Structure 1
């Protein structure tokens, strides 16, 4: 008779639980009805005071196995249920575990390198045992990380174990290829790429950037130890690792992983380029590796830009990945170096101009690409031409960029930079003392000076015009550059035509006259402007007149000889007289016209 009573007890408990649940639902509906009535403005229904709810009956001692869930606990109206699983605050000591994990990764990988390299040098164990032990250790570490990731609190340890296993497998493949030579480099690179891709897939599966960093960063230090220095084979392994780590980052905003990817590819190349600069050996393969690194940097940057919030940093990292191409002149001949730099300049300029059509290429990113294009163009010009040709080319480039890119800040700064470098080159071949003493010059040097003088004056005016500046000081600087360029042109032309005697004197005579003519042109320009716009050209004209008069009495009077001295004083004096009379007449005429226009406007208004 015990069994029927047990069934009855279970039924009674089920009915009690259902009754209390229905009572709770009824109470909630009444509360909802009261709230809706209050919001609509209608008087809330009066509810009779509810009798205190009796506590639910205790559950039976043995809950029947056929019921899938426990009874829903009862809570009085207005009482909030307690939090079932409150999240615990992160402990401040969490960084200790991460630090220990990073230390464990580093120490373990150093042990693997010792196993593969130093043991081989000391003759300990057979190569098969060393390589096999590395492979078994790599597989065990990855398996342990996979298992630990499914355990509570095991994520940090799982990431460290898996990263150590993947890096161990990659080092093992490098050793098989570089130390023991069991496979040819092409097979070794393919196998290493497959190992890295499969291992780094865990970073994407577990959604952790740290795993990728713990694989890439140690390779920068440990891989050269395995290959016994920076070799072309090592560069190939690092480029393969950099390339295959891209799919891991797709759809993830992991800027540090991109930085590690660029560092893995670029740092060995810089060391190799530095070694070539010291040893002075040509290596076209190294130049090709630099080109591959640049393509990886540009490609990964364009692919990842739409999905990152750090677009400026992504663009800067792209520029860092391209930088080795601009230094390949130490490893190959200048023609190839110039062509590679010109290709970078053209490619980055195309991205800067058409960047608004590409996803993720913001104006700030376009500025970075434009600046990189300008630097690459500067490198290409200096690599392709010697100084006497590079100077005029850079100044011509400055004029073109200033005029064509006058609405773009990056283009204006690029034009300013080209002007500075071109002016420096011009001064190095035509210093100031050549304008004070007669100096013989060759035809090639003279032609270069003539061309660069014209382009220097043009670039100074074009750059300042592109900035649309009204600062008097800047225009004074530009005027000084123009005056120097005019003097350099006339003195060089006179020396080439009539020698370092009469030609030198004649060139200075023409230079002084040109200064006064330029001042007259500025005063004429000022006379045709409104009163508010006259200050800058008038100031520049007065400064130019003062400089011309000073040159007359301080240099021409004591240096020029014979007819040159007479001509320059007479011509300059007549021009100054004409300037004074003409400028006063133009100003009076303009003032009268302004007055008449004002009177006409007042009359029409009245």
Structure 2
């Protein structure tokens, strides 16, 4: 039989059953911090800086050989071109040998990139400066040189090599020519890198291949907005479309393989920028509208594909790409709407766009589409305010000049937009907390839209007293709307208290606004039987609502007391 373990003896003065205190933990002594190595002493930093500097200086020398030597009369065209080609080929061969040696990767990459970029610049000079090659053939040769350079980068798995090849050729190409043909050679660089982006996840190459072509095209197009010959506008428009299409197609191909590649989507935004300002080159409104509409159609179709399940299953376009194309397409649609309308009809175009985006947002529960639709709502409201603001609505003379069928249609669409916006807000997740603010804002905007509609219809009829008829009808419509909302809220008082609270608050706000308008504006503006009709209609509706309001709360109190007695 095992012997029981002896119980430990308590310490003198210790309380029986208490947990003995823990011995103090000695403080940890930290050793001396290792000194940080200065950046200039880190492995590879200085070598990379020297390599890039050497590449830049060498390429500048190549450009001097091709351009400055020709201006000074040194050598002949053939020796200059042959010397540039032989020198570039020698650099590629030397860089390949250096790359295979120990520690030669940095230098080898820089030397090879210098050679390929120099060869590309040599092709540009042969095509543009000496005209030895037809532009089409010159672009084909340039594509082959660029493809060879980025092909070596893929083989060596070197993103810096691909980036240096593209940037080296793109940065110095404007020294050889500043004509629009420069854009074609930059687009060739952008196109040659698309297969590399599909096979390699190189985000820096996204920017390197897109920024030069997009920025150069943007500068040319922006200059053409001021003044440019008609024939050159066609070439610039073609270049802008090519940059946008190469950027968009390359992005779609890339993100189908790597859905998380956000850099590809961002470069699409930059690539489409020239097309967004291209309509400004055309002074004829129809040409500008056709360009903007075509751009909007293509971009919005790409965004819409992501929302159709069957098409999305095949296209596999991620959300960030769809968002970028949707925003760019919305900007192009805005340009088309502004170009195709006059100030009086612009609210109609903006509200139609808002209805489209808000409808899609509600159907797909898309916050991005809701944000774009909300932006169009704000723009449409501002333009409607501009053509039918309070100052115009309060003045008979100004209303008869500014209001009409266009403002009527715009105000009716504004009411439709409010209804769709409220429906969309209910379907979007996380929007319930802002319901009170939404309903108050919708009530105020609805009152304004109803007033514009009524006064515009009255003015559009051409009747001598159309202005006062419109204002009288607006006041009555305000009170009718308040009555309907209040009665709805009273019906939901027991079943849905939250909905009832919103409806009652909005209804009381509208009813109060109707009474204020009746005494502050209609009493001084309306005359004769119209003033009498407005006061009687508003008074009867107030009596109806007041009676129903009191009865509803009395019934609710009686029900609560009966439930208390039963309990």
TM-score bracket, normalised by the shorter chain, equals: 0.7 to 0.9
1:419 aligns with 2:382: no
1:497 aligns with 2:455: no
- Give the deviation of 1:377 after TM superposition: 2.6
SS of 2:74's equivalent in the other structure is coil
SS of 1:353's equivalent in the other structure is coil
- Give the deviation of 1:261 after TM superposition: 1.2
Partner of 2:332: 376
Distance 2:279 2:403 in 1: 26
CA deviation map 1:113-155 (0-9, x unaligned): 1221122222222111111111111001101110001000000
Partner of 2:305: 351
Q: Could you tell me whether the CA contact under 8 Å between 2:259 and 2:317 is conserved in 1? A: no
Alignment of 1:230-309 (within 5 A): 231-279=179-227, 281-282=229-230, 283-308=233-258
Q: Could you tell me whether the CA contact under 8 Å between 1:177 and 1:188 is conserved in 2? A: yes
TM-score when normalising by structure 1: 0.79
- Give the deviation of 1:322 after TM superposition: 2.0
Q: Could you tell me whether the CA contact under 8 Å between 2:400 and 2:459 is conserved in 1? A: no
Alignment of 1:355-366 (within 5 A): 356-358=312-314, 361-366=317-322
- Give the deviation of 1:385 after TM superposition: 3.3
Q: What is the aligned counterpart of 1:337 among 291, 301, 305?
A: 291
> Would the alpha carbon gap of residues 557 and 155 (structure 1) be closer, same or farther in structure 2, given more than 3 Å must change?
same
CA deviation map 1:206-253 (0-9, x unaligned): 1000011111123333111101x2x22111111111111222333211
RMSD over equivalenced CA pairs, Å = 2.5
Q: Could you tell me whether the CA contact under 8 Å between 2:345 and 2:407 is conserved in 1? A: no
Partner of 2:422: 464
SS of 1:250's equivalent in the other structure is helix
Q: What is the aligned counterpart of 2:487 among 518, 524, 529?
A: 524
Distance 2:54 2:294 in 1: 43
SS of 2:293's equivalent in the other structure is helix
CA deviation map 1:68-98 (0-9, x unaligned): xxxxxxxxxxxxxxxxxxxxxx971421111
CA deviation map 1:158-212 (0-9, x unaligned): 0100111010000000001111111110111111111111122110111000011
Partner of 1:542: 508
Partner of 2:70: 120
1:174 aligns with 2:124: yes
CA deviation map 1:461-496 (0-9, x unaligned): 321321124532222111111111111111111122
Distance 2:192 2:94 in 1: 24
CA deviation map 1:554-582 (0-9, x unaligned): 21222323333222222211111111112
Distance 2:334 2:289 in 1: 14
Q: What is the aligned counterpart of 2:359 among 374, 390, 403?
A: 403
Distance 1:262 1:253 in 2: 15
Distance 1:269 1:185 in 2: 18
SS of 2:307's equivalent in the other structure is helix
SS of 2:397's equivalent in the other structure is coil
> Would the alpha carbon gap of residues 350 and 471 (structure 1) be closer, same or farther in structure 2, given more than 3 Å must change?
closer
- Give the deviation of 1:436 after TM superposition: 0.9
Partner of 1:391: 347
Q: Could you tell me whether the CA contact under 8 Å between 2:393 and 2:399 is conserved in 1? A: no
SS of 2:396's equivalent in the other structure is coil
- In structure 2, stretches of 5+ residues that fail to align are 1-39, 427-431
- Give the deviation of 1:284 after TM superposition: 1.9
Distance 1:292 1:259 in 2: 17
Partner of 2:529: 563
- Give the deviation of 1:585 after TM superposition: 3.0
Q: Could you tell me whether the CA contact under 8 Å between 2:163 and 2:205 is conserved in 1? A: yes
Q: Could you tell me whether the CA contact under 8 Å between 1:348 and 1:372 is conserved in 2? A: no
Partner of 1:439: 397
State how many pairs are aligned: 509
1:572 aligns with 2:522: no
Alignment of 1:149-188 (within 5 A): 149-188=99-138
Q: Could you tell me whether the CA contact under 8 Å between 2:392 and 2:402 is conserved in 1? A: no
Partner of 2:150: 200
> Would the alpha carbon gap of residues 124 and 148 (structure 1) be closer, same or farther in structure 2, given more than 3 Å must change?
same
Alignment of 1:308-319 (within 5 A): 308=258, 310-319=260-269
Distance 1:157 1:257 in 2: 20
- Give the deviation of 1:290 after TM superposition: 1.5
- Give the deviation of 1:312 after TM superposition: 2.4
Distance 1:590 1:495 in 2: 46
> Would the alpha carbon gap of residues 171 and 402 (structure 1) be closer, same or farther in structure 2, given more than 3 Å must change?
same
SS of 2:102's equivalent in the other structure is coil
Distance 1:555 1:443 in 2: 20
